[in-house]
Amino acid sequence: MSQLPRALQLLGSLQLSLASRSAILERIGRALFSSEPRPDDSIEPFVGGLSVQLKNTRLAQHPDYIELFREIPATQDVQHYAILRQEKRLCDWLIDTKFHERHRYLTSPSVYFGTLDMDQLNAMICPVPESDEYLVAINFHLWDAIDLVSDILVKSIRQDGHRLVFDAAAAQTLVDKYELILSRIVAHSPLPSSDMTARTAKYGWSWHSLRSTACRFVFAHEYAHFLHGHMQQQSRPVRISVGERACEGRATDWKNEYEADRTAMDLAVMLTQSISSSQGLRDTSTDGAQNFIKHTQLHQQGGTAALHGILLCLNVLCHLDQVMHNVYTVESSHPPSLLRLHHAWGVIGSQMPYGGAVIEQQLQPLSECFEFLADKCQSLQKGSGSGGHSECDFQGAVLSSLFSLRHDEVIGKLQLIDDELARSRVSTDSISAALTQQIPPKWLKCLGQPGARDSVPDERRALVQRTLAVVNCNAKILGFCKQQ
């Protein structure tokens, strides 16, 4: 362990201690070899703690991994590490050989990586104390879940000639599985097993490109923070006036997240395009995520599947926000997942001058699939109508409106609600009929839930103002990004 780079020593120290692993192993042994009948899941919590070690033990004699075992902590999943190592090499190669302004990107051999069973869903990149190294850490269960959600997606979307079509009947059979995957991610529990064989042969479009690009996007987003020097930047606030108060949003942090998403989209699509093509990567001569769709034949060789992989990741994060009832404020380190998804669609749309209708048509079944799953999964509906979750529901309803309304339109409608609540100081049940015709019904429904504290109008108004601040902050940051 002491011979490893400091970043990998840190990665190993963040995993279970040896003492904990020994105790768990002993309990597994007793459970496995006891003659007493037990429920199938009685040892699952203990197996989860040792899943990496048991998996690595099975792979210890595999020729592809023998040398790799000497390079990583014993607690690191060797297959995850092998994939991440290859992804970093591919990203560095692409930037060195194909990016027009290569000097703007800080590639380095001192960036290390791995998967961790950690509380936060978002991956992270952090400097390693007393060294010039950096560690990219990715949520272990979320990384594993990409395989399973990719499987659900390809089973729910069939190919009809040259078109992709959402198959609601097939998706219905997978609702319980998707709900189980979300719950296991949140609970840090082992994910359900899946048959991983012959997907590409079985399904008409490429599962491998979909799954690979999803993984690639997750890693490339974190690496992009290093590539752009975000770790050395100071957070710069932006002043936002909402009602009678002013607040500060994390302008630099949110801008950096969007910049990392753009570069990750570029790397993911271009690399997937290259690997899927027998002719190799096209000479795009592109500077980062500016023209990746314009310069790649996305309707061929896995390009459309690459975009599906990116949108898959962001949709899953949106659904996990719903399951966990996450509420974002202007002080949050990341923009809401719904806003990241909205931004990704905006990047795709801005690069669709040629063949845009075809690409959009190919991506539409994915949106239909995730909307269907959100409508059918009980855990994604749990907040609706139950106390305490209304702010999450209200914020989600408002941010979802940005897919059909402009920022200024959403801001205007929120200000109308705020003004009405300030004037009447009553619940949303008493909002004027004229105003209700201007406000989306789902907003008012979510705002009128018991969790919105009907008896305290001021708190309901504060709820509206917090969401108004988030939308306002995002509008200013997107304007700031466009000026760069």
Q: What type of residue sits at position 196?
A: M
Answer yes or no: do 301 and 391 share one domain.
no
Identify which of 53-62, 137-146, 301-310, 416-425 has the greatest average pLDDT. Answer: 137-146
Domain boundary among 316, 350, 382: 382
Q: What is the DSSP string of 231-282?
A: GGPPP-EEEEEETTEEEEEEHHHHHHHHHHHHHHHHHHHHHHHHHH-TT---
As a whole number of angstroms, the distance between CA 256 and CA 53 comes to: 36
Answer yes or no: do 231 and 375 share one domain.
yes
- The pLDDT value recorded for residue 481 is 56
Which has the minimum average pLDDT: 46-50, 71-75, 415-419? Answer: 46-50
Stretch 409-418: mean pLDDT:
92
Answer yes or no: do 472 and 329 share one domain.
no
Residue 411 maps to a domain: yes
CB neighbour burial string for 440-463, b if at least 16 within 10 angstroms, e if fewer: bebbbbbbbbebbbeeebeebbbb
Answer yes or no: do 228 and 324 share one domain.
yes
Residue 112: strand pairing partners: 135
Answer yes or no: do 303 and 446 share one domain.
no
Residue 263 maps to a domain: yes
Host domain of residue 406: 383-484
Answer yes or no: do 197 and 208 share one domain.
yes
CB neighbour burial string for 254-290, b if at least 16 within 10 angstroms, e if fewer: bbbbbbbbbbbbbbbbbbbbbbbbeeebbebebebbb
Residue 448 maps to a domain: yes
Spatial contact of 315 and 307, defined as CB atoms under 8 Å apart: no
Mean model confidence pLDDT for the chain: 75
How far does CA 274 lie from the centroid of its chain? Answer: 23
As a whole number of angstroms, the distance between CA 324 and CA 26 comes to: 33
Which has the minimum average pLDDT: 59-63, 239-243, 288-292? Answer: 288-292
Residue 82 maps to a domain: no
Answer yes or no: do 317 and 438 share one domain.
no
Residue 409 maps to a domain: yes
Answer yes or no: do 468 and 453 share one domain.
yes
- The pLDDT value recorded for residue 351 is 66
* 83-124: pLDDT as tens digits: 899 999 999 999 988 887 888 899 999 999 998 887 777 788
As a whole number of angstroms, the distance between CA 304 and CA 363 comes to: 8
Task: Please enumerate, as own/partner, the contacts of 237-240 that have beta carbons within 8 Å and a separation of 24 or more.
Answer: 238/473, 238/476, 238/477, 238/480, 240/330, 240/469, 240/472, 240/473, 240/476
Answer yes or no: do 299 and 401 share one domain.
no
User: How is residue 35 annotated by DSSP?
Assistant: S
Q: Is the pTM of this model over 0.75?
A: yes
- The pLDDT value recorded for residue 441 is 87
Count: domains in the chain = 3
Selected residue with higher pLDDT from 292 and 351: 351
Residue 356 maps to a domain: yes
- The pLDDT value recorded for residue 159 is 77
- The pair of structure tokens assigned to 62 is 């595999």
As a whole number of angstroms, the distance between CA 52 and CA 43 comes to: 15
Domain boundary among 52, 74, 96: 74
Kindly calculate the radius of gyration of the chain based on its CA atoms and give it in whole angstroms.
24
User: How is residue 128 annotated by DSSP?
Assistant: P
Answer yes or no: do 346 and 279 share one domain.
yes
Domain boundary among 74, 98, 119: 74
Confidence of residue 180 (pLDDT cuts 50, 70, 90): very high
* Pick from 390, 461, 396, 450: nearest CA to 422: 461
C-alpha torsion sign, points 366, 368, 371, 376: negative
Residue 221 maps to a domain: yes
* 246-255: pLDDT as tens digits: 555 576 788 8
Residue 119 maps to a domain: no
Confidence of residue 70 (pLDDT cuts 50, 70, 90): confident
Answer yes or no: do 283 and 296 share one domain.
yes
Answer yes or no: do 349 and 387 share one domain.
no
User: How is residue 72 annotated by DSSP?
Assistant: S
* Pick from 310, 353, 280: nearest CA to 98: 280
Stretch 271-286: mean pLDDT:
50
As a whole number of angstroms, the distance between CA 114 and CA 84 comes to: 7
C-alpha torsion sign, points 352, 354, 357, 361: negative
